[in-house]
Chains A and B, each alone.
Chain A
Amino acid sequence: MIAALVLATVIAQPSYYSPGEAEALFQQGATAFDQGDYDGAIAAWQKLADHGFASQDVLYNLGTAALKKGDLGHAVLWLERARRAGGPRDDVTANLEAARARQGDKVVGQVGDPFIERIAAASSPDLVAMAFLAAWLGGWALAFVFRFLKPGRRTWAAVLSALLLVASLPLGLLLGAHVWVEKNTHDAVVLSPTVQARELPAPNAKVSFEVHAGLKVRLLETEGAFVRIRLPNGLVGWAEKEGLAEL
């Protein structure tokens, strides 16, 4: 009883902005954007994102305003977050492509992502999770039904149960891939105009290469103020955390 009350209190906790205030702030940003005041638009939408209103609409507008402003780093960051927040909508994908087209780095010899990441990227984690759960529970439910049916009247239950349990096997593997990718892959976007990647996590270490705003990199490990990054073509180096923002 006490736990239920605490939960209800947490759920019913008021937001930073009321729905009306949030809508007004959103429209304020849209007006500023239409007048070419991209900084004003970003400031308004950033407030929403910082106070629990980081929906795909807000993040997409933030990314689009940053793209118009020429801030490629934040444009890619917010558009990637918008894609993750609400799926690959057409406008999000288009603006991400536009931002990448303007990005200054050309990664030569780009290799593809590992198979497990590719199949995870090709499917919706929620959809996979729900499909797996349905097949799994359905198979077991029919197995129980089979147990209680009289012989001669329970063949259908056995067949359906077997089919569902067999189907749940690849779905379970796919779900496992999603979980693995979610737990083990960390991407970031370069925000600073130029970020130097060094051979060692030290400020005076030899510079291996440079990356520029808007490039998406993979985070491998962290050591002090440095983070080890990997480019899509396998180039690896240590970059300062300050110039990056994790997705």
Chain B
Amino acid sequence: MNKNYHLADWLDNKKSDDTLSGIQGMDTLKKIKQYSAQFEKPKFSKDEVFRQIKNKQNAKKSKAINWSVAASVLVILGVTSLAFLFSVKDVTSQIDSQQHVVLPDNSKVILAEDSKFKFNNWFWNFDRTAKLSGLAYFEVEKGKTFTVKTDFGTVQVLGTRFQVLSRDSIFKVVCYEGSVQVKFEGEENVLKKGQFITYHNRLIFEQSNVYGEKPSWVSKTHHFENVSLSEVMQELEKEYSIEVDILKVTENKRFTGTLPSDDLSLALEILNKTYQMNYTIINENKFIFVDNVQP
């Protein structure tokens, strides 16, 4: 189908006005042709647009450079973080046993039962930061700041011996040597040797003194300082889940000393010697003490 578009040809000056005589509205068509040629071209900021194109070209170029920089940074970051991730050590103690960890700088950590300790093996000498949940005793070598993070607060030391407990809603820090800085909810406290601090439900619960060189669960001993026999016995009852009867014993002196917390018969033997008494075993868990009558 080869249709002829006379009007189109006429508009394009390929046909004269005469060839279209007889077409409806020729007057109007002529005017359309005449006036439509009088329109101005739309405004176009030719130079300005070119300038913007140049700007964008440059932006793209520098973007390209940035991308390559960004890419290498990403690669480096990726490798480092992989190394970081792979060198993170996760130590979890069993529910019924303690675990000893020696850090790269020879600092020692003793994890109590059912505790979790996390540190970075490779980066340890740059950043002595570890994470703890549960109970642990630390003997830190002198050096850069040593940080223990817990769910509740942060403990910072330079080199000392201390214990951190972070479990349930309790956060407790005990200092056994030197000084320990405890950060909790924006509050800072410094503990000196023999002091401890406990936060319970985000409130300071108690802050007082302890005796002994190490926590009893670490040294497997219990240290007593000038306490009555009944107090010692109360502790033993708690520690070994036993029942003790000392009603028949003459309490004549106070006790200062260390008792093992993992050897009941030895502990009882020591007390027997100290107080010159004897005990009768009623059953596995019950002991009755009487004064040892010298023959």
**A and B co-occur in one complex:** no
B interface residues with partner A (beta carbon < 8 Å) = none
